[in-house]
Amino acid sequence: METGVNDARREGRPTRPGRVGAPRAGAEVADLFRGRELVDLTLTIAEDLPCWWPTHQPFQHKIWNWYADVPAGPLVLRSRSGPYQTRWMAIDEHTGTHFDAPAHFIPREGTGLPNAGPAGEITGDRVPVEQLMGPARVIDCRRVVGAAEPGVSPEITADQVRRWEGRYGEIRPGEVVLFWTGWDRFYRPGPEGGPYVEDVLVRRTHPGWPAPGPDAVEHLLRRGVRCLGTDGPSLGAAHDGAPVHVLGLSRGMVFVEGLTGLGGLPASGAWFAFLPVKVRDSTGGTGRAIAVR
C-alpha cells in the first residue's frame, strides 16, 4: 500500500485520505510548525483604506443579503434569500497584498505588442504555488535614500544588495527576497493614508517608496531568485514602474506587493508563503501572505 501511495505521488495522481502514509506525513508537517510562530504579512482591505491603485478600479464591498429586512433608516437592507449575511466585491486583481504574474506586463507571443514573449503565457492561474513560497531573505531598505522629490522613488541598487549579502550570506536559488522599506506605515484609513500611493502618483505631493532598480533585479535573477516581495505598493518605481516589471516578469519572476509587518521577520531563517485567489487568465491576484518564524 505504501508503494502505491509513492507511485501515485510520482505520477501526479491524487492519493485518497486515510491511506497508509498519510498520518506519518501529517505528523511531519506538524513537526515543521511546532515551536514556531505564524506571522500574517497581509494588508486588510476596506473601502476606506488605500488598498487599490488610484488609477484603477476602486475596491467596493457591499451587503447583498441581510439576516432580515431593514426597510427604513439610513441603510436599507434586504433578506432576499434567507436569514444570513453575504456581500459582493468589486476588486481589481492588484488590490491590497497581491502578486503580479508575468502576463501582467508581458503580452503573448504573436500579438505584435512591445515586450511580447513566452512569459506572456504565464497567467496567474498558471504560476505554480511553490514559486510563491520558500526561505525568506529580508533586506532592510528603510535607510535607502534619494532625491526627496514628489512622485520619485529612491532606488535600491545591486551594490546595496551585495553589501547586505556580505553581512548575511549570499542569496541562493529558490529563496524569496523581501524588501523591507517600512512603507506600510502609511497604510491608514481616510486622508491619513494619502502618502501610501495617492499623494505620490496623483497629487504628486509626496516622495515615492523605495524600489529596486533594474540592476538589483538582474543581480537577483542571476542568483536564481524567482519571487520578489515588498511592503511598498509596487516593486516598480513610482516615477517609472515598467522597466523592473518587464525585466523580472519577462524572465519568469513573480512579484508579491503590498506586504506588511516585514519588520517582524529576521534577515534570514523565516519561511514565506503567498496563496492567491486562482482566477483563469488573471494577471495576478490578491491573497494571504504568511511567514513561519
Instruction: Clarify whether 104 is annotated catalytic.
Output: yes
Specify the pTM: 0.89
85/144 same-domain check: no
**Mind listing the pLDDT tens digit for each residue in 48-92?**
999 999 999 999 999 999 999 999 999 999 999 999 999 999 999
Question: Looking at residue 231, which CATH number applies to its domain?
Answer: 3.50.30.50
The three-point CA angle 94-248-163 to 5° equals 110
85/102 same-domain check: no
Q: Which cell numbers in the block locate residue 59?
A: 475596491
224/149 same-domain check: yes
**Mind listing the pLDDT tens digit for each residue in 177-228?**
999 999 999 999 999 999 999 999 999 999 999 999 999 999 999 999 999 9
Does the residue 194 lie in any domain?
A: yes
Does the residue 8 lie in any domain?
A: no
198/163 same-domain check: yes
Residue numbers of the domain that contains 82: 60-90
Catalytic residue among 56, 61, 94, 104: 104
